[in-house]
Every structure is written in structure tokens, then in C-alpha cells.
Amino acid sequence: MSDILVEDKTPTPAPVPRTPRLASRQLPKWAPLAIAAGAIAIAAAIGAGFGLDSKIQWGLIALVLFVLGSYVITARVEGRRQAKDRVATSLVWSSFILAVIPLYSLVQTTISNGSKVLDGTFLTHSMNNVLTIQPGGGIYHAIIGTVEQVAIATAIAAPLGILTAIYLVEYGKGALAKWVTFFVDVMTGIPSIVAGLFILSMWFVLLDKAPATGFAGSLALAILMMPIVVRSTEEMLKLVPNELREASLALGVPKWRTITKVVIPTALGGITTGVMLSIARIAGETAPIALLVFGSNVINNDPFKDPQASLPLYIYQQYGNGNEPSYDRAWAAALVLIAFVMILNLVARGIARWKAPKTGR
Amino acid sequence: MTTTAPPSAAPPRAAKTVTRPGDRIFAGMSRGSGIFLLVVMAAIAVFLTVRAVSAISKDHGNFLTTFEWNAGLNPPVFGIAVLAYGTIVSSVIAMLIAVPIAVGIALFITHYAPRRVGGVLAYVIDLLAAVPSIIYGLWGAIFLVPHMKGLNLWLDTYFGWTVIFDKQDPNSAARSLFTVGILLAIMILPIITNVSREVIRQMPKMHEEAALALGATRWEVIRLSVLPFARSGIISASMLGLGRALGETMAVATVLSASPQLSAHLLDPLGGTFSQNIVAKFGEADQFGRDALIASGLVLFFITLLVNGAARLIIARRKEYSGANA
């Protein structure tokens, strides 16, 4: 465009007569690939030449060269604005790659280390009479502890959370609802260790002794779980079309029956998903369990009496033992925990997709 | 999450309807559980304060400025100076690393990746947010710490003059606040990414199309229309991430080798954080020692309360998405 204008108006200063072009010059499509290849080659040369043994350094040099190279080349061919665009693109891509590397490494390390001792015996035996420096033992007691504690926490938090969400969506107006909404949001951010300390101090104040039962742990987990359930249920209830409520109320159905028979069944899939996701969240909590349940090496089926074990706490304790067999057990337990959490997540999201509330029209 | 109008739940005129006992009970129950939630929040503050006050009153050091944590001594001497410093420094490092990368990923998902890839990636990030912190801790302690050695030496050699990156004993393990910061950054990436992504996605398509029609490049579209629109959302997403980083326990407890020293040398294995100190000292603490730890937990509670409350107030302007499920 500017080229045309320039040629129209000014006869004198154009040193080189240029043919008018509508499209500005562009780099060919393969240019980024070529620049990348060049950058990697030069980086490898530099790395080998200066004897840098860390491959991460090679990668970083290549990255810097790539960004610089594409900026300079694009700036010369396409102009500075396009060059900035290229740089932004490569920065966005590299931030994505930077994030993927540690996350991939996390999953890969857990799977490769965890599969070493993970077998049927590991799943069905406790640590009773196993010295920490020996190989052997298992996580049966920890699985029982986690399942019981999480089950109790869910039994407490899910109904309270769902009812609170019903209050916020169906009844809530005015100051109280605003305060509840705000504090639900704030509550999602409470550090798990603070929830643990709260239950601990409650035990001290009310019962004048230290807790050390699975039940105390599940109370702390319930505190962490409740706001998550409230938020997800709230969002699901909001998706239920208002016409359904109006139709039911117009037929003379009492409000509470409208809620229990029309609104909740419509949103049930989403509510289930929310509860399962929150279970996945609290199943991995370690800090409150460490303060309240203490952990144990033997099977204890009673969450109301004596210390229990728990999967995340087991990982922490095995890590704390600081020897190879314990590390192996910790990784194997980590693999079981991660598998449990991931399966719960996938199933929950599957239910969400399958039972998504029909949003009408 | 992304539907049209928020329903105004109650019918317009409920005044003349007959209230049945079932209605009253159900409404009472749901209102009651809402109130219960507020009571729990209040109870947390009250119970922690009761125990904390009794502990602090017997503290022979200054609770705010004392470095060491010796609640078991007679007389007990403990303070939160080192813990507050370590908590803030490690969280700040985490934020400096995580926020730009998280915004980059959010932009990648919404604007750069092919639609299919973006969807899958968003899903993967969701899953990663669910990885328990103890597993990050285990990975950090056994995998990350040895692998930080090269980076630490490099920083020490070329940036040692900044004091911050001066490693006093080059052979010490990388169980430092710096490593903790990096690990925390990895842990809070998913939440910051998710919330920023949701905010960016709410941006009216028209703005972008207008910018594109004026001939803006993709980066100019982002800089001139996306980022200004999403700024408050990104800020509050970062603060939610900060809240997580401040309270994170297990990842710090496994990685950091704590000592009661307040030092600007971030690569040295020194310092501590609130939650790490609580877990580490809890096992050997007697009744009084636990009260002292509760006192430090109270401080942590108020810090996270402030950070989260502020983040929520900022994000409250965009009611659609709260980030609670992120």
C-alpha cells in the first residue's frame, strides 16, 4: 500500500524504482523449520566445541539462537512487526515445552521407579514386622486407612456441600448468601496444614488430648473438601434451565420437591463429577493426616480408635526412612496413589460428558 | 460453566404461596449448612487463636523477630522470622517462574495451538492439577535435587556476584529455597494456567476480529486486546497460585534441608517455611510445642486468607468462573 502512495506522490527520491506490490514480502513456510535446524546445529557445534556436557545447556543455547535468528531474519525480510510476532510465537511455544518437560519427567519417574516393587504382595500386605531397611512389606494398611478416612470425609462434606450449594442457587439472596459465597471461595485456599492444625486445636480445647485417630483426619479432609463440592455443585445447579423449575412450580409442586425431584436429578451427573473430583483432591492430602492420624505399620480397621496409616503419609514416611528399599516402596505407593487419583478424574470427567445437563432449546 | 443467563432461582412472586413444613425444613437445612460453613471458618480462626495466644504468651523470644524455633527448651524461645522469610521468598521465586510460563501456556491453548491439540492440552493440565503434592515432593527430593546441581554451579559461577546466587559451599546438596521455588512453580502452573485460560476464553471474539481487521499481527492482537481484557483475571489467577505456594507443605518438607538462618544466599540449604516447620517439628513436639506450631499456623492462615480474599475480590467482577475446580 505505502509503496503505491510513494510512487504516486513523489517522483524524486526513490533511488531504486520498485514495482508496486500489494502483498508484503513473506518468508517461505519452511523458514521456521530451517532456522530451528540451523539453531540446533550451531548449538550442537558450540556445545561440543566448548565441552558442555549438559544436554539442557545445548537445548537452551539452541532456543536462544532460534529466537534471535528468527527475529533477525524476519525483521530483514518481513519487517519489525512481523518479527515481534515471530518472537512472541516462539516464546509461547517454548513456555509450553518448558512446562511439559518437568511434568513428563514426573510421570515417567513415578511409573518407572514405582513399577519396581509393585505387585500383588505389595498391595495385600502391611508393614507389620518389616524393618525399614529390608525390602518387602506393602501398603494394604495404608489403602484401608485412606479409603476409610476419605469415605468418612465424603459422608460429612458431600451432603453439607450440596445443601450449601442448593442454598446459594435456589434460596440464597441478600447478605448471608454473599458472605457464604465469598467464604466458600476463600475456604478453597486454606492450606491443608491449617485445616489439620484447626482440628488439632479443637481436640486440645474440647477433649484436652491429642487426636491420633483416622476420624480426626477425615474431619480435616472434610473441611478441605466442602468448598470444592459447593463450588462445583453450584455451577451445575446454575446450568439447570429455569423453565424446568417454573414448570414444576406451576403444577403446584412444593419448592423442596421441585428441588429434590427435578433440579437435582437434572444436575446429578455434574454433581457426581464434582464430588468425585473433590475426592481425588483430598485423597492425596498428607499434611493434616501427618498431624492427626500419625500413621502406623499395622492394619487398623477402626478409624475411631488408635492411629491409622494412609497412602500419602506412607509415601512421606518411607521417604523419610532414607534408604533404597524404602524409596522403592515410596515410589510404588506413589504410583498407586497417582493411578487412583487419575482413574477417579477420568471416570468423573467421563460422567460429566455423558450426563451433561441438557441446557434446553 | 459457560451457559447463557444465570437463573434467578425463585419464582417472581413467592409471597402468597403456602409454606409447607417440608419446604420449611428443607430451606432450613440448606440455609443451615451455609451458616455452618461460616461457623467453621470462624471456628478455625477462634480455636487457632486460643491455642496460639497461650503459646505466644510463654514465648521468651520475640515471636515475630526470633530466628530459631526451640519450643522444647525451658524457657521456650521461638519466632517466625526465618519461616516468614522462607515462605515469602520461595513463593516469590515460584511466582516469577510460573506466571509468565502459565500465561504463555494459556495463550498457547487459546490462540496458538490447533483447536484439537488445545483441547487435549487443557485436559492434560486439568489432570496435572490433580497430582497430589506429596508426589511432587517425592519427585523433587529424589529427582530434581540431584539434577539441580549443574544449574546451581552455573549460576554460582556466572552470577555469584549478585549475592543471591552465591553458593557458599559449592558441594552442598541443592536442598535450597531456590529449588523449593522451582518445585512450587511447577506445582502452581496448572492452577494459574487454568484460571487465566478461562478468563482469556471469555473475551469477546469481536475485539480480536476488529484488531485483526485493522491488520494487527497475532502478537499485536494479544498485546492490544487480549492481555488488557484478561489482566485482572491473570492477576487473580496468580494470587490463587500464590495462595497455594504459600501453604504448600509436603513438597517443601521433603526438599528443603531446614536451618534457622536468614540468608540472602538462595542456593544454600538454609531457611524454612511455615508449613515445612510445622510438619518437621510436630513429631518431637510436646503439648506446648504443638501450641507454638499452631501459633505459626495461625500466621499462615491469615496470610493465605488475605491473599485469597484479595484474589477473589478481583475475580468477583467476572462471576462466571471462580477457579475453584481448577
What does the H/E/C string look like for chain A? Answer: CHHHHHHHHCCCCCCCCCCCCCCCCCCCCCHHHHHHHHHHHHHHHHHHHHCCCCHHHHHHHHHHHHHHHHHHHHHHHCCHHHHHHHHHHHHHHHHHHHHHHHHHHHHHHHHHHHCCCCCHHHHHCCCCCCCCCCCCCCCHHHHHHHHHHHHHHHHHHHHHHHHHHHHHHHHCCHHHHHHHHHHHHHHHCCCHHHHHHHHHHHHHHHHCCCCCCHHHHHHHHHHHHHHHHHHHHHHHHHHCCHHHHHHHHHCCCCHHHHHHHHHHHHHHHHHHHHHHHHHHHHHCCCHHHHHHCECCCCCCCCCCCCCECCHHHHHHHHHHHCCHHHHHHHHHHHHHHHHHHHHHHHHHHHHHHHCCCCCCC
B-interface mutation test, from A186, A323, A337, most B Cβ less than 10 A away: A186
- Residue B318: its pLDDT value, please? 56
Of B6, B43, B219, nearest to A238 by CB-CB distance is B6
Asked if the Cβ–Cβ distance from A188 to B186 is below 8 Å, we say no
- Backbone dihedral angles phi then psi of residue A287, each to the nearest 5 degrees: -60, -50
Query: Which residues in chain B touch residue A176, judged by CB atoms under 8 angstroms apart?
Result: 31, 34-35
Chain A interface mutation, best of B17, B48, B135, highest count of A Cβ atoms under 10 Å: B135
Residues of A in contact with B307 (CB under 8 A): 189
H or E element that contains B77? strand B77-78
Q: What pLDDT does residue A164 have?
A: 93
Residue B184, pLDDT score:
92
Contact (CB, 8 A) for A253 and A207: no
Closest CB from A227, A241, A245 relative to B324: A227
A23 interfaces chain B, CB cutoff of 8 Å: no
What part of A 298-357 touches B (C-beta under 8 Å)? 312, 315-316, 319, 327, 330-331, 334, 337-338, 341-342, 345-346, 349
pLDDT in tens, B268-300: 777 788 888 888 888 788 888 888 888 888 999
CA gap B74, B76 in Å, rounded:
5
Q: Please judge whether B130 and A95 are an interchain contact, meaning their C-beta atoms are less than 8 angstroms apart.
A: no
Cβ–Cβ under 8 Å, residues A305 and A293? no
- Select the residue of A89, A161, A286 nearest B250 (Cβ to Cβ): A286
Cβ neighbours of A281 in B, within 8 Å: 130
Q: Which of B128, B247, B311 is closest, CB to CB, to A193?
A: B247
Task: For residue A223, give the 3-state DSSP assignment.
Answer: helix
Instruction: Please state, for a pLDDT cut of 70, what percent of chain B lies above it.
Output: 91
Amino acid at A8: D
* Residue of A167, A200, A346 lying closest to B30 (CB–CB): A167
For every residue of A115-135, which 3-state class applies, written as one string? CCCCCHHHHHCCCCCCCCCCC
Distance CA B135, CA A37 (A): 37
What is the C-alpha to C-alpha distance for residues B217 and B322, in angstroms, rounded to an integer? Answer: 31
In the structure, what pLDDT confidence band is assigned to residue B326 with cuts at 50, 70 and 90? very low
Let me know: does B173 contact B254? Beta carbons within 8 Å: no
- pLDDT, greater one: A313 or B261: A313
Query: According to the model, what pLDDT value does residue A62 have?
Result: 83
- In chain B, residues with a C-beta closer than 8 Å to the C-beta of A284 are 130-135
Interface test with B, best of A78, A82, A146, A255 (most B CBs within 10 A): A255
Choose the closest CB to B279 out of A179, A228, A290: A290
Helix (H, G, I), strand (E, B) or coil at A71: helix
The sign of the dihedral angle between the CA atoms of A244, A245, A249, A253 is positive
User: B304 and A168 in contact by Cβ < 8 A?
Assistant: no
Phi and psi torsions of B259, nearest 5°: -160, 150
Percent of chain A as helix, strand, coil, to the nearest 5: 75, 0, 25
Average pLDDT, integer, range B220-244? 86
Q: Which residue has the cell 525483521?
A: A75
Four-CA torsion A267, A269, A272, A276, nearest 10 degrees: -140
The answer to whether the beta carbons of residues A182 and A337 sit under 8 Å apart is no
Q: Look up cell 491439540; give the residue.
A: B117
Distance between CA atoms of residues B48 and A190, nearest Å: 13
Helix (H), strand (E) at residue B78: strand B77-78
pLDDT tens readout for residues A109-158: 999 988 888 887 788 888 877 777 778 788 888 888 899 999 999 999 99
Residue B82 — left, alpha, or beta (φ > 0 → left; ψ -120 to 50 → alpha)?
alpha
| Contact criterion met (CB < 8 Å) for B44 and A312 | no
CA separation for the pair B306, B109 (Å, rounded): 31
Q: What is the pLDDT of residue B161?
A: 77
pLDDT of residue A6: 45
Shortest alpha-carbon distance between residue A246 and chain B (Å): 7
- What pLDDT does A58 receive? 79
Q: How does pLDDT run across A191-206, given as a tens digit for each residue? A: 889 999 999 888 888 8
The C-alpha cell at A168 is: 446459594
B323 vs B158: which has the higher pLDDT? B158
pLDDT tens-digit readout, B19-67? 788 888 888 888 899 999 999 999 998 988 988 888 888 777 777 777 7
Q: Looking at beta carbons, which residues of chain B come within 8 Å of A168? A: 34
Task: Express as a percent the part of chain B with pLDDT over 90.
Answer: 10
Residue ranges and CATH numbers for the domains of chain A are: 2-114 (no CATH), 140-354 (1.10.3720.10)
Query: Which of B12-21, B73-82, B122-131 has the weakest average pLDDT?
Result: B12-21
In chain B the domains, ranked by start, together with CATH numbers, are: 69-315 (1.10.3720.10)
Here the cell at position A222 is: 472434610
Query: Hey, which residues 32-61 in chain A have their CB within 8 Å of chain B?
Result: 54, 56-57
Q: Walk along chain A (361 residues) in steps of 10 and give the mean pLDDT of each run.
A: 46 56 74 84 81 72 84 83 84 83 86 85 79 80 90 94 92 85 85 90 82 87 92 87 91 89 88 89 87 82 83 89 86 91 87 66 45
Interface with A, mutate which of B20, B37, B214 (most A CBs under 10 A): B37
Cβ distance B218 to A88 less than 8 Å, yes or no, reads yes
Average pLDDT over residues B3-31: 67
DSSP string for B135-160:
HHHHHIIIIIHHHHHHHHHHHHHHHG
Q: Higher confidence at residue B8 or residue A59?
A: A59
**pLDDT-derived band of residue B3, with 50, 70 and 90 as boundaries?**
very low
Give Cα separations from B9 to A301, A302, B4, B27, B197 (angstroms): 45, 43, 14, 13, 29
What are the phi and psi torsion angles at B111 (to 5°)?
-120, -25
* Chain B residues lying within 8 Å of A94, measured CB to CB: 104
Residue the block writes with cell 517455611? B273
Give pLDDT, residue B323: 44
Cα–Cα distance, A102 to A105 (Å, whole number): 5
| Cβ contact A182–B312 (<8 Å) | yes
pLDDT of residue A223: 92
| pLDDT: which is higher, B5 or A339 | A339
Q: Residue B32's Cα: distance from chain center in Å?
A: 30
Q: Answer yes or no: are the C-beta atoms of B193 and B294 closer than 8 Å.
A: no
The three cell numbers of residue B98 are 510460573
Q: How far is A14 from chain B (nearest CA, A)?
A: 26
**Residue B75: is the preceding peptide bond cis (ω within 30°)?**
yes
Distance, CA of A251 to CA of B259 (rounded, Å): 69
Per-residue confidence (pLDDT) for residue B39, from 0 to 100: 93
The burial class, CB within 10 Å (0-12 / 13-18 / 19+), for B256 is buried
Q: Measure in Å the smallest separation between the Cα of B48 and chain A Cα atoms.
A: 6
Does A247 reach chain B within 8 Å, measured CB to CB?
A: no
Nearest Cα of chain A lies from the Cα of B225 at a distance, in angstroms, of 15
Residue of B1, B13, B26 for testing the chain A interface, max A β-carbons within 10 Å: B26
